[in-house]
């Protein structure tokens, strides 16, 4: 049995991340970094936050080690500095993810009584979390894409040599296309997403990274979009499980939208055939998220299900395991 002290420490871990979340979404770590040190009044003026809340937050952030103090003056600890969204290797995605998990778990607890599955709108219920969604996913996955997937999965270089068009369906804040086009200088990109906030952020970031000449974004539904021209690569990252119910019609259409020799590249968590493996730490997050996906009307997929569905639409599939995820390439034969 887990000692009760350990359980309490776990609960304190959640509290600590919740305090960090408040600091992230209200710009408090960033403001304190700019000021170097500040008392509550100074930080309230700089951040525009209410002084009463801020005083309590500073005490709690100090208690959990996000801030240091010298009398009434607060400074960022090393851990607090790493929570700044603009920090190199920022850790803010962990705090945002923890708060999103708490929100989704609370909703699942209530919905389990009736079996209702309200859909993806549940993700958007918390106005402080929603704007951080794209940046959270970028911090969680961009490095793996650049370091592990891009060098190993050959299709990206093949399409780069043809100066091809890559379309990202369910593109979030567009990080995948920004990373890909940054490495593959001949590619053009088009990202599509159903959330207008994602498209706004994606376009702004592409502009800021000097990519807007080769990269565009549009709001729209994966099931009803129109391609400006045939694509060479169609990517879906953590998006296929959102539209899995209509996979047959979707994959048939993607096959027709691709140039011969083109491919779809799908990156998804790899739901295991043997759920005994879920106890392993690297699978626990997936097991948790599968509960919250159920709220949204989705479920995670086994790699073999994805390949079978691609092959039923005429693609030749290849599987590339990446930790507890999988990248499935479906090639349209020449
Ligand atoms: C888990 S997020 C992944 C985002 C992005 N691909 C990434 O890896 O960061 C799933 C995305 O799919 C989008 N999405 C889900 N269903 C969609 C649909 N039917 N049409 C357009 N976008 C959709 C959501 O808005 C969301 O941005």
Q: What is the mean pLDDT of residues 132-160?
A: 97
Closest CA to 172 of 146, 189, 195, 206: 195
| Local structure of 324: helix, strand or coil | coil
Yes or no: is domain 130-331 CATH 3.90.1170.50?
no
pLDDT at 125: 96
CA 203 to ligand 1 centroid distance, Å: 16
Confidence of residue 271 (pLDDT cuts 50, 70, 90): very high
151-160, 186-195, 220-229 — which is least confidently predicted?
220-229
| Mean pLDDT of the residues in the chain | 97
- Judged by DSSP in three states, 174 sits in coil
Per-residue pLDDT tens over the stretch 113-127: 999 999 999 999 999
What is the per-residue pLDDT for 147? 97
> pLDDT (tens digit, 9 = 90+) per residue, 30-80?
999 999 999 999 999 999 999 999 999 999 999 999 999 999 999 999 999
Domain edges within the chain: 4-90, 130-331
Query: Token pair of 31, please?
Result: 């403001």
Q: CB under 6 Å to ligand 1: residues?
A: 137, 141, 170-172, 176, 193-195, 198, 221-223, 237-239, 242-243
Q: What is the pLDDT of residue 226?
A: 85
10 pLDDT higher than 90: yes
Ligand 1 atom with least separation from CA of 198: 27
Per-position DSSP letters for 233-292, written without gaps between them: EEEEES-GGGSGGGHHHHHHHHHHHEEEEEEEEEEEEB--SSGGGGGSHHHHHHHHHHHH
> What six digits make up the tokens of 139?
């911090």
pLDDT at residue number 139:
97
What pLDDT, on a 0 to 100 scale, did the predictor assign at position 49?
98
**Considering only CA atoms, which residue is closest to atom 4 of ligand 1?**
172
Task: Give the ranges where 66-162 is alpha helix by DSSP (H).
Answer: 78-82, 92-111, 133-144, 155-161
Domain 4-90 matching CATH 3.90.1720.10: the answer reads no
Decide if pLDDT at 225 tops 90: no
120 Cα: distance to centroid of ligand 1 (angstroms): 10
Give the whole-number percent of the chain exceeding pLDDT 70.
100
Name which residue sits closest to atom 12 of ligand 1, judged by CA: 170
Q: How confident is the model at residue 334 (pLDDT cuts 50, 70, 90)?
A: confident
Which of 242, 250, 290 is the pocket-test mutation for ligand 1 (most atoms within 8 Å of CB)? Answer: 242
What are the pLDDT digits (tens) for 156-194? 999 999 999 999 999 999 999 999 999 999 999 999 999
- Evaluate if residue 81 carries a pLDDT over 90: yes
């Amino acid at each position: 049995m887990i000692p009760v002290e350990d359980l309490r420490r776990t609960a304190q871990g959640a509290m600590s991340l919740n305090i960090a979340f408040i600091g992230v979404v209200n710009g408090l770590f960033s403001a304190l970094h700019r000021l170097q040190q500040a008392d509550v009044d100074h930080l309230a003026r700089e951040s525009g936050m209410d002084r009463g809340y801020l005083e309590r937050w500073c005490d709690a952030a100090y208690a959990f080690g996000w801030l240091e103090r010298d009398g009434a003056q607060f400074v960022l600890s090393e851990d607090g500095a790493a929570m700044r969204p603009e920090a190199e290797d920022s850790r803010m995605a962990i705090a945002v993810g923890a708060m999103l998990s708490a929100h989704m778990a609370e909703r699942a607890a209530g919905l389990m009584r009736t079996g209702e599955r309200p859909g993806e709108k549940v993700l958007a219920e918390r106005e402080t979390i929603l704007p951080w969604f794209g940046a959270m996913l970028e911090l969680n996955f961009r490095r793996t894409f650049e370091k592990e997937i891009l060098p190993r999965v050959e299709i990206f270089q093949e399409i780069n040599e043809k100066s091809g068009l890559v379309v990202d369906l369910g593109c979030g804040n567009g990080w995948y296309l920004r990373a890909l086009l940054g490495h593959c200088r001949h590619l053009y990109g088009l990202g599509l997403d159903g959330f207008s906030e994602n498209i706004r952020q994606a376009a702004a970031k592409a502009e800021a990274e000097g990519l807007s000449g080769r990269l565009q974004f549009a709001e729209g539904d994966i099931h009803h979009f129109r391609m400006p021209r045939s694509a060479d690569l169609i990517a879906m990252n953590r998006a296929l499980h959102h539209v899995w119910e209509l996979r047959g019609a979707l994959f048939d259409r993607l096959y027709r939208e691709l140039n011969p020799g083109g491919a779809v590249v799908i990156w998804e968590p790899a739901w295991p055939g043997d759920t005994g493996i879920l106890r392993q730490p690297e699978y626990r997050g997936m097991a948790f998220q599968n509960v919250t996906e159920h709220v949204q009307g989705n479920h995670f997929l086994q790699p073999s299900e994805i390949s079978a569905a691609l092959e039923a639409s005429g693609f030749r599939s290849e599987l590339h395991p990446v930790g507890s995820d999988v990248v499935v390439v479906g090639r349209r034969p020449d």
